[in-house]
Structure 1
Amino acid sequence: MSRKTVNTVLITAGILFIGYVGVSYVLTPETTAPGFGLPHWPSGDGDGFLILKGIRDIVSGLVLAILLVTGHRRALGWVLLATALTPLGDMTTVLAHHGSAAVAFAVHGLTAALVVLTGLLTLRETRTTTAPPAPATR
């Protein structure tokens, strides 16, 4: 299996995962939120913040999907690296608000690591190699 195929499978799995999480937060925020790792969640009108999280996740997946479908693989690698800041920020937020350290590291930390790995693999796939100059002929 080629490096490009492996990267495409990893990227597609990531897009489907973040899309599923986003849709879950939009449709059923009250049942999805406890898995995030924070000890307390907004209730009443505050549930709107959970839907915002879902929309953020859906848009993140769409941006990656557009880059994948249009073949902009180098840009996709860089965007993956930037996108890894989201789960890293989520992990930091959970830890800073005395949430579950297990969820912070196992869910958000692992997600950030996998996104970085996929981004680096994609950038490596797109790295251009320069051939040595052809010898001059006389």
Structure 2
Amino acid sequence: MKTINEITPWGTRSASYWMTLLIAAGIIFVGLRFIINPAAGADGYGIPFANAKDFPFGRIKGIRDIFSGLVLLPFLLMRMRFATACVFTAAIIIPATDCAIVLATNGAGDIQHLLIHGLTALYMAITSFLLFRNKQA
């Protein structure tokens, strides 16, 4: 097992780099929205709050979303493809579980939110495949 960070040609010229950065930036935006306007964040998620007393839970989710996006940035900036791939792949559990929660709460009729979460999980799975794929020069 290698214990050093080897600089590789992977980086801004790779589609997987930008695909990962898009998700990182997107989830940071979602987290900020939950902190700034928890009601809008909850509506966007697919499970609106019952009242303003639920807002702290939105802010709790918001800071966790921001962390989820920020945790990828150092790996991207240091061009650590394998570390990025491992963390990013583990994170697929989040939109997959979000999809299951929306399905369990709203039922199969909430196609819009099921697609948002489900397609995010699919996008992340494709990105993970690309991150792990070892391109030979």
* Counterpart position of 1:45: 53
1:78 to 81, 86, 98: 86
Whose helix proportion is higher, 1 or 2? 1
* Counterpart position of 2:31: 22
Deviation at 1:12, TM superposition (A): 1.4
C-alpha contact 1:25 1:32 (8 A) present in aligned 2: yes
C-alpha contact 1:36 1:103 (8 A) present in aligned 2: no
C-alpha contact 2:34 2:59 (8 A) present in aligned 1: yes
Moved over 6 A (4+): none
Deviation at 1:103, TM superposition (A): 2.8
Question: Percent identity between the aligned chains?
Answer: 30
C-alpha contact 1:90 1:104 (8 A) present in aligned 2: no
Tell me the TM-score normalized by structure 2: 0.81
Aligned counterparts of 2:115 and 2:62: Cα–Cα separation in 1: 20
2:127 to 113, 118, 131: 118
* Counterpart position of 2:110: 101
Gaps of 5+ in 2: 1-9
Larger radius of gyration: 1
Gaps of 5+ in 1: 130-138
Tell me the TM-score normalized by structure 1: 0.81
Aligned counterparts of 2:50 and 2:94: Cα–Cα separation in 1: 20
2:62 to 54, 61, 64: 54
| CA offsets 1:64-97 (integer angstroms, 9 cap, x no match) | 1121112221011111111010011111011111
Aligned counterparts of 1:113 and 1:128: Cα–Cα separation in 2: 22
Q: May I ask how many residue pairs the two structures share in their alignment?
A: 125
Q: Which amino acid aligns with 2:21?
A: T
RMSD: 2.1
Deviation at 1:128, TM superposition (A): 7.7
